[in-house]
Chain A
């Protein structure tokens, strides 16, 4: 594949897009893991939400 005389611009556009999308996905995945971990810790300590309260 020949990208011609402006190959640097094309490669930079694809690399920058890949980086931005990868950063967004990484943030989403790490945030999910963090929320699950905190919820697990709270449940282990017996903390419940109001809707789960009995009596």
Chain B
């Protein structure tokens, strides 16, 4: 099957129905392995057991940013090619990305209190991540409150592209400004600075959260296609009633 064939909503639904049970099982298995390794990982020599929060916080941060990146690519599909599935993909990514960004901020705050002595500081990394959450809420408001879905989709696509400017700011904020937040320690020139005993569970948890993202994205896309079918059928019903009277 060619990739372009998946752009047909009916074919996409068939594929999603087949893939979702397998993805759900794979996600559960990976979480079981990841959580087992996370709970048995050694304490950090400085932070003690609070390093276990890293296994939630770091994947959530990555996926919060990944979600917006996905929405930006989908926005190009909506604005340039006007493909309906691109809009469905963008709309489906927003609640998942918002949830992961929220998890990142809350777990970061709970990690910050015992390690930094404070729940929150207005440093560049924390503030740019909060801006990302606000941008997600803005996109969700555009999608959920637009009276005409097409107009809401175009406005959300424009905001997605404009908001993409925030992604390099989040990534490089720890290099550009003097922040309380630590610099990059996994993906950096010269390799990771994290001990393999902590890096292994971190990467498995990141993989598990990524599979969860993909599973939920497919499921929400499926829901959205069904919602659009319901809307289309109701419009047909209303038109037929108007013609009959």
> Taking beta carbons and an 8 Å cutoff, which residues of A are in contact with B?
1-7, 9-10, 12-14, 16-17, 20-21, 24-25, 27-28, 31-32, 35-36, 38-39, 42, 45, 47-50, 53
Contact = CB atoms under 8 A, between A and B. Distances in A.
B92 to A, nearest CB: 10
Nearest to A45: B237
Nearest to B219: A28
Interface string B207-245: 000001000100110110011011011101100000000
Contacts, number: 95
A4 B48 CA distance: 7
A28 B99 contact: no
B107 interface: yes
B110 A9 contact: yes
A53 B232 CA distance: 12
A contact patch SS: helix
B175 interface: no
Given A20-B103, A42-B234, A32 B114 contact: no
A39 B49 contact: no
Contacts of A16: 103, 106-107, 110
Contacts of B60: 17
Closest 5 A-B residue pairs measured CB to CB? A35-B226, A6-B114, A4-B49, A13-B107, A13-B110
A13 B48 CA distance: 15
A27 B39 CA distance: 28
B56 A14 contact: yes
B37 to A, nearest CB: 13
Given A13-B57, A16-B107, A49-B229, A25 B216 contact: yes
B103 A17 contact: yes
A16 B53 CA distance: 11
Nearest to A49: B232
Contact of A35 (B102, B212, B230, B236): B230
Contacts of A27: 95
A3 B49 contact: yes
